[in-house]
Amino acid sequence: MNKDELKEMLEKVADGILSVDDAVKKIRLETYDDLDFAKIDVQRGIRQGAGEVIYGEGKTIDQIITIVKHILAETEKSVLITRLSKEKAEALSEKTELFYDELSRIAIAGKMPEKKDIGNIVIATAGTSDLPVAEEAALTAEYYGSKVTRLYDVGVSGVHRLIDNADILADAKVIIAVAGMEGALASVIGGMVSCPVIAVPTSVGYGANFKGLSALLSMLNSCASGVSVVNIDNGFGAGYLANMINKI
């Protein structure tokens, strides 16, 4: 049940078409749909304002197709899929309408959401190697209706590139800073702006980077106020959180 269906049901209660008891029973019974290998959270859109998201990595294509078809038929007009391989995307596109971005491995099954461009989320990357994670964040935030401004390859090894774009940072309602290596970009941005900064450590870097652990620890120890941190390579989590902040 999505928000529109809930509203329609409550209107029926108000008009005397549906009893209160029947409405309560319907809501109570629709906690999740059991597909045996997956339990679809049909009320997530009502609770959180956004429906369930599918994590594509580790699932078979048959599982993904079944989940997507169920969600599109029962609860949502579209569904966001993260970490979907090109091969799985090609197979899924034969079963349903699909948008797929190979760089970020983000897919949107079903009807594309209306573009809303609410607020302004700036996504800044230290380097070009951080783009897959940055685009995962960007496409996630755009899917939920936020305006996204991309500011790529402005890392601290050439900090003048960042300073030259200070006006873009100043216009943001929330900033996502994506960086590997030592992860210094988030601290520098945090010291330049008055809005929240979400730091995303990436696994980009040489051996002592420990697949993103050095960037994660640097960001967690940032001396700049207003910087929060998500997990390594978690562009989706950053984009989702930034969208929530952006819409407050």
CA dist list (Å): 15 to 19, 22, 23, 76: 10, 14, 13, 26
Domain boundaries, the chain: 19-110, 118-246
**In terms of Cα–Cα distance, which of 247, 42, 51 is closest to 145?**
247
pTM for the model stands at 0.87
Average pLDDT over residues 148-159: 95
Average pLDDT over residues 209-232: 95
Enter the tokens of residue 247.
């819409």
Residue 35 clears pLDDT 90, i.e. is over it: no
Burial 73-100 (b: 16+ CB within 10 A, else e): eebbebbbbbbbeeebbeebeeeeebbb
pLDDT at 58: 93
Least confident of 3-7, 49-53, 89-93, 142-146: 3-7
Question: What is the length of the chain?
Answer: 248
Instruction: Kindly report, residue by residue over 161-196, the tens digit of the pLDDT.
Output: 999 999 999 999 999 999 999 999 999 999 999 999
Contact 53, 79 (CB under 8 A): yes
Average pLDDT over residues 110-117: 89
**Strand 227-229 versus strand 197-201 pairing type:** parallel
Torsion of CA 84, 88, 91, 92, to 10 degrees: -30
Residue 29 clears pLDDT 70, i.e. is over it: no
Residue 73 clears pLDDT 90, i.e. is over it: no
Place of tokens 């529109």: 4
CATH number of 118-246: 3.40.50.1970
Q: Tell me the sheet residues that pair with 109.
A: 79, 98
CA dist list (Å): 243 to 122, 145, 212, 248: 11, 8, 24, 9
pLDDT at 28: 64
pLDDT at 30: 66
**In terms of Cα–Cα distance, which of 233, 198, 244 is closest to 50?**
244
